[in-house]
Amino acid sequence: MIYYVTPTYPRPEQVPELTRLAHTLMHVPRIHWIIADDQPLCSDVVLNILRRTNLPFTHISSPKPFLYKGTNFPRGVSNRRAAVAWLQENVSDGILYFGDDDNTVDLELFDEIRNTKKVSMFPVGLIGGYGVSSPVVKNGKVAGFFDSWPGSRTFPVDMAGFAVNMKFLKPSASMPYIAGHEEDKFLVSLDLKMEDIEPLADNCTKILVWHTKTAKYKKPTVKINLKQFDGEPKFQNFVNLLKETSRLGMASIESNNGTKPYIIRDRKSYETLTGLQ
């Protein structure tokens, strides 16, 4: 069983990114999706996506500690720590893999990491100034690392660039709240040695996972008073669309402020729906 750990947090891109990832994971046999939600309560929106996949899943509330509220870093640490704690309490066999909700994964990677004995590593595309982050393999063994940010790290790898056998996940496993050092310190906490690393992806010559990033979308506010549609059943579909847009976090619908919308018909713009009468 592969335990695919995905940190996530509410934002306009969250639903499409989780939907895209879900449709990849639905092709993978023997996989358990663990979504760690950066909210005080597990999101119904995320839960709905999980249920629709028909995959075995665990949904964990794992909000960022108050100390780091309002900052971008370190991102995803509380989520991954919560997932690792759940695994240590509930799982003894299988493979742990950290897969962010904005990653793109080739299905071949799942076949490869399933054979991990201790810790396997492989290249990740679209990383930093080199375009890729990867172990350097010499005579079938990892001899070093190719990463554009050394950062005085023992294991300068991306979060998506390794998998861990659950039997190697020691009780000492921990991930620090130190930006850029999450992967390294986690692997060091496993007491990992260079000779333990298993290079995959044809001796790290193939890229099977990419750190793709969706462009950040600034959530707009649209000035629409939905009460004006009360008693207008013919426009109920449109009202439901606006409510769904708000529910999924893609835009805020406000009656008193925001962008003034227009309805277009026959190349003419109308401030109200009267043009559709």
List, by residue number, the catalytic residues: 183
Selection from 23, 33, 51, 49 nearest residue 107 by Cα: 23
Tell me: is residue 102 an annotated ligand-binding position. yes
Q: In this structure, what token pair is assigned to residue 125?
A: 């595309």
Which residues make up each annotated binding site?
102
Which residues make up each annotated binding site for Mn(2+)?
102
